[in-house]
Amino acid sequence: MDLEALNKEVNELIHQTGRYIAEQKESISSSDVDTKSVHDFVTYVDKQSERLLIQGLSRILPGSGFLAEEETVKNEGKEYTWIIDPLDGTTNFIHGLPAYSISVALAKNEKVIMGSVLDVNAGVCYYAWDGSSAYRDGEKIQVSTSAKLDDSLLATGFPYSDFQQLEEYVQMFKYLMKNTRGIRRFGSAAIDLCWVACGRFDGFWEYSLKPWDVAAGAFIVKQAGGLCSDFSGGDNYLHGREIVCGNPDIHSALLKLTKEHF
């Protein structure tokens, strides 16, 4: 399989889907918003974007399966599975905040071998495939070289419905407030991870995430020279609902803290 050629087709598809999302941003209203669970929202834009992606990806790789956030199709258990978030940052999209993305990853026998993320508002695509470097619109990217937390800028996501580890999260957050250059929260894990991959952020951590939130972005981080793990240092960040990423030094420092606090 020519993963580079496949990735090019995927990127063209997510750009097309991104144009659809951009066209809808001025017409979305409160009546278009449904609640999936507490503070977890979905719109017709999420669902239609997912349909467009599934139609296109089925054509690009016939017979493949899908693990998709909005479950417009249920088709898992294949050798090749697409892991899709059609609109990562739905709450931002609803409120007109310009941080939302499309995230598409391809897994072979549960191992991610390709990832693409489109920052919809910026029109910028981040991508990588097995054996490649990581790229931003054709330009090679890599993680930062910051070696100490004191010199680092971090990203995170706030829990919005799962508060079981809130106290642990707050304690770690307080430590990092005092011992880094700052912490940012943009509301799209896929974008956060891509900004780690290109060195804008030095590290990222969050809990209560789903596979489609992190599959593509974490893969891009790793291809850009970074490290990703769960809070214990294992590799169960895809389905384990927790992730810590960064350049090797900052990942190590954050991992020490997640082990202490969680």
Give the Å distances, CA to CA, from 113 to 172, 209, 215.
32, 20, 10
For residue 67, which of 193, 218, 215 has the smallest C-alpha distance? 215
The predicted model scores a pTM of 0.94
Per-residue pLDDT at 152: 98
Going from N- to C-terminal start, the domains of the chain cover 3-141, 149-261
The pLDDT confidence band at residue 15, using thresholds 50, 70 and 90, is: very high
Taking 70 as the threshold, does the pLDDT of residue 33 lie above it? no
At 39, is the pLDDT very low, low, confident or very high (cuts 50, 70, 90)? very low
pLDDT at 29: 64
Query: Is the pLDDT reported for residue 37 higher than 80?
Result: no
Geometric angle at alpha carbon 4, from 135 and 6, rounded to 5°: 115
pLDDT, one tens digit per residue, over 121-130 is 999 999 999 9
Give pLDDT tens digits for 178-234. Answer: 999 999 999 999 999 999 999 999 999 999 999 999 999 999 999 999 999 999 999
User: Using one digit for the tens of pLDDT, what is the confidence trace for 58-105?
Assistant: 999 999 999 998 776 666 668 999 999 999 999 999 899 999 999 999
Q: Which CATH class is domain 3-141?
A: alpha beta
pLDDT tier at 42 (50, 70, 90 boundaries)? confident
Architecture of domain 149-261: 3-Layer(aba) Sandwich (3.40)
Checking if the pLDDT of 38 tops 60, the result is no
Flag whether pLDDT at 36 surpasses 80: no
Lowest-pLDDT range of 19-33, 34-48, 112-126, 221-235: 34-48
Same fold for the domain at 3-141 and the one at 149-261? Answer: no
pLDDT band at 40 (very low <50, low <70, confident <90, very high): low
Give the C-alpha distances (Å, rounded to integers) separating 84 from 35, 147, 155, 156.
20, 33, 22, 21
- Does residue 31 surpass a pLDDT of 80? no
* Percent of the chain topping pLDDT 90: 83
> How much is the average pLDDT of 2-26?
96
Lay out the sheet containing 203-207: strands in order across.
182-184, 153-156, 203-207, 242-246, 227-229
Q: How confident is the model at residue 131 (pLDDT cuts 50, 70, 90)?
A: very high
